[in-house]
Structure 1
Amino acid sequence: MIRKTLNASRLQQEVDRRIHRLQEIIEDGVKIRVPRPQLQEPDKTGCNWKMTNFGNAIGFERDIERVLVAVRAEYNLSTEVKDTGNPFGD
């Protein structure tokens, strides 16, 4: 399967959305802090990012890991750097 690419903010939002729609998370009313993805060399599956240090996640590690496995199988982190140009025009 070919992965879609997302920038760091969109990837972070997607992981956050999936975590916070899990029944266990909803029932406990917990808000888990989702870190920004970190670029890495592609692993054996071809995924080029990882996430570590989730906040307020004690007791939900397995749930988070399931979400990460699914999202890492679907998406890669975009490595394109946008040229914002010189704001001073020189």
Structure 2
Amino acid sequence: MAKRERGRRALQDEVSRRIQQIYEIGEDGAKVRVPAPVPHARDARGRNWNMTGFGNASGYEASIRAVVDKVRDEFDLSDAPENRAPNPFGD
């Protein structure tokens, strides 16, 4: 099955939504800061992006990594112009 493509913001939102559904995080009322995905060359598992540097994630690292890896398996980061962050200095 082919992966669906998503832009940076859509992937960040999806990971954030799934992280907030983790039982321990919801139970503790923690608000985890989710970084933007970082593109990289396709790896052995066919993934082309990753996320690191979550804020307020102490104690939840393994659960968060599981969520990120699942989303990486489902979606590719698209670099289509409409999915790129706007350049604040113009083109």
TM-score by length of 2: 0.87
Q: Distance in 2 between matches of 1:22 and 1:61?
A: 11
Q: Distance in 2 between matches of 1:8 and 1:65?
A: 18
2:30 corresponds in structure 1 to: 30
Q: Distance in 2 between matches of 1:39 and 1:81?
A: 15
Q: Write out per-residue CA displacement over residues 29-76 of structure 1, whole angstroms, 9 at most, x where no aligned residue.
A: 100000000111011111100101000001000110110111011001
1:86 corresponds in structure 2 to: none
1:77 corresponds in structure 2 to: 77
2:51 corresponds in structure 1 to: 51
Question: Quick check: which one's helix share is greater?
Answer: 2
Give the paired residue count. Answer: 82
Letter in 2 for 1:35: P
2:17 corresponds in structure 1 to: 17
**SS at 1:76's partner residue?**
strand
Shift of 1:5: 0.5
Identity of matched residues, %: 45
Q: Distance in 1 between matches of 2:71 and 2:27?
A: 22
Greater Rg by CA = 1
Letter in 1 for 2:76: N
Unpaired stretches in structure 2, ≥5 consecutive residues = 83-91
Is structure 2 residue 6 aligned with structure 1 residue 6? yes
Unpaired stretches in structure 1, ≥5 consecutive residues = 83-90
Shift of 1:81: 1.8
